[in-house]
Structure 1
Amino acid sequence: MKRSAVLACLTLTVVACAGQTPAAQPDRTGLEPAQATPSAPVSPSPSPSPTRTGPPEFTAKVTKIARDRLPYSWRPGCPVGYQDLRLVTMTYWGFDNRAHTGELVVRDTVADDITTAFKKLYDMRFPIKQMRLVDVYKGDDFDSIEADNTSAFNCRPATGSSSWSKHAYGQAVDINPRENPYVTAGGGTAHQNAKQFTKRPMKGKGVINPGDKVVRAFSSVGWEWGGYWSGTKDYQHFSKGGG
């Protein structure tokens, strides 16, 4: 080979010298393109659990009641023994448009009636001011009414009578007594805060009217409404068997 050809060969970096093909450069990955490791499949994210909206479902629990829960409303000589009474703890719809939990005491034989009727009231969103045992007011019916308290059992005589009230048997309930007062034949009521509610029919939150859904709810379980009495009207009052 001539000297000029040798110099030319030394200066070449890519072109083959003297008919030789340059060596192939190795793949830096060490793998042919077709051999590249595929990406791992991505699992789809689980769908979020639906969030519950709206008020809770109606619930009711019927249990026996201890004597010490009835320090004022029950005493020896009452027409029903406290062992035959039941505490009903249940949901009610409040005047604040929210669900609350209240308590009523009734006779064991009518506990199912009460839960059935009050479930209907809750489902129709009929508002109740509050629902506490009358013992919170030391068994004083007047004070319970003044507080607009919905209550049931109370061992006392009927208003204006020496005979036992249906409340004394645990077979009566008074609902929103301010909005649904006891009204004499002359149109009066003993509670000043209830005077604006003595007429029927009338509109108002928590008001019970003749033939309305509340009356029908109790009628469906065989309970009568005091608003249908002749002369005196007891718009708050529902009882099993009347009276």
Structure 2
Amino acid sequence: MLAGPRRRARALLGAAVLVAGACGGGADPGAAPSPDPHPTTQSAPAPAEDAPAPADPRFEARIVPVPAEVRARMDGRSMRPDCPVGYDALRYVTLSHHDFEGGVRTGELVVHAAVAGAVVEVFRTLFAEGFPIRRMALVDDFDADDFASIEADNTSAFNCRRNRGAPGWSDHSWGWAIDLNPIENPFITAEGTTYHPASEPYLDRSRDASGVILADGPVVEAFAEVGWSWGGAWRPEPDTQHLSLTGR
């Protein structure tokens, strides 16, 4: 049922280089590839500039270079001079999503140009599946504070920050990782706890509740179809909100 859109989404990745930039949260990197020292020069195809996503009766999405007004929101927050990518490597994406109250909202993400088209196709599928998303705003609305963004149950992508508990940049620093409904899908410590009290009811990952990402559910399947991996499979510290291109 979901294969056709995914094949199109995977094709949008083209020759994207799977480079590693550890996301954090206890994943075992295994044999993941080494980071590209010049990720802004990779040859992956970018989505069409200033072009709307394919028409859908309900779902709407748009991919554009990061506008000046969005750059102003990001400067000194999620974007800094030492970041591994610059604005030219990123795209600003707006898209429709269901909320938890039965309505439809327009969310925003900043992601790497090489994955922007695939990200739109994933969220197109999740929209069709009726999967709800609490909030989707730039992490800059929370002063690029990851903890504050999670407390607001905010779904976000690009945030230039160092990896938690390991050397190197987080995958979010390249714009090829997304944290989805982070209260319903917490990072779980090796002791089985969470840093966010509102997430405690969701430590039981067998719970089939609104916005929860399950191993056999539509979110993991949709992202897998475009070559992304789910942090909920990590051990000993699963990061159940985290989806990423590199598996980190």
TM-score, normalization by structure 2: 0.74
The one-letter amino acid of 1:229's match is: W
Structure 2: which 5+ runs fail to align? Answer: 1-55
Q: Match for residue 63 of structure 1?
A: 64
Shift of 1:159: 2.2
1:171 aligns with 2:172: no
SS in 2 for 1:242: coil
SS in 2 for 1:105: strand
Point out which structure has higher relative CO (alpha carbons under 8 A, 6+ apart): 2
Q: Please say if 1:100 is aligned against 2:105.
A: yes
C-alpha contact (below 8 Å) 1:201/1:210 kept by paired residues: no
Following superposition of structure 1 onto structure 2, how do residues 197-212 of structure 1 map, counting pairs within 5 Å?
197-212=202-217
Question: Aligned partner of 1:186: which letter?
Answer: E
Q: Which residue of 2 aligns with 1:183?
A: 188
Equivalent residue in structure 1 for 2:147, among 113, 134, 142 = 142
Deviations 1:72-101 (A, max 9, x none): 100011011122111000100111111110
Point out 4+ residue stretches in structure 1 off by more than 6 angstroms.
Answer: none
Q: Tell me which residue corresponds to 1:75.
A: 80
User: d(CA) in 1 for partners of 2:168 and 2:138?
Assistant: 22
Q: How far apart are 1:56 and its partner, in Å?
A: 5.4
AA in 2 matched with 1:63 = V
The alpha carbon displacement at 1:181 in A equals 0.3
CA distance in 2, matches of 1:167, 1:63: 19
Larger radius of gyration: 1
Please show how residues 17-36 of structure 1 align to structure 2 within 5 Å: none
Given residue 60 of structure 1, which amino acid in structure 2 is its aligned partner? Answer: A
The corresponding residue for 1:237 is 242
Measure how far apart 1:205 and its partner are: 0.8
The code of the aligned residue for 1:138 comes to D
The answer as to whether partners of 1:182 and 1:236 remain within 8 angstroms in 2 is yes
| RMSD after superposition | 1.2
Q: Residue deviations 1:181-202, cap 9 Å, x none?
A: 0001110111111111112121
Q: Distance in 1 between matches of 2:171 and 2:204?
A: 24
Q: How many residues align?
A: 189
Identity between Structure 1 and Structure 2 (%): 47
Q: Does the 8 Å contact 1:56/1:99 carry over to 2?
A: no
Structure 1: runs of 5 or more not aligned: 1-54
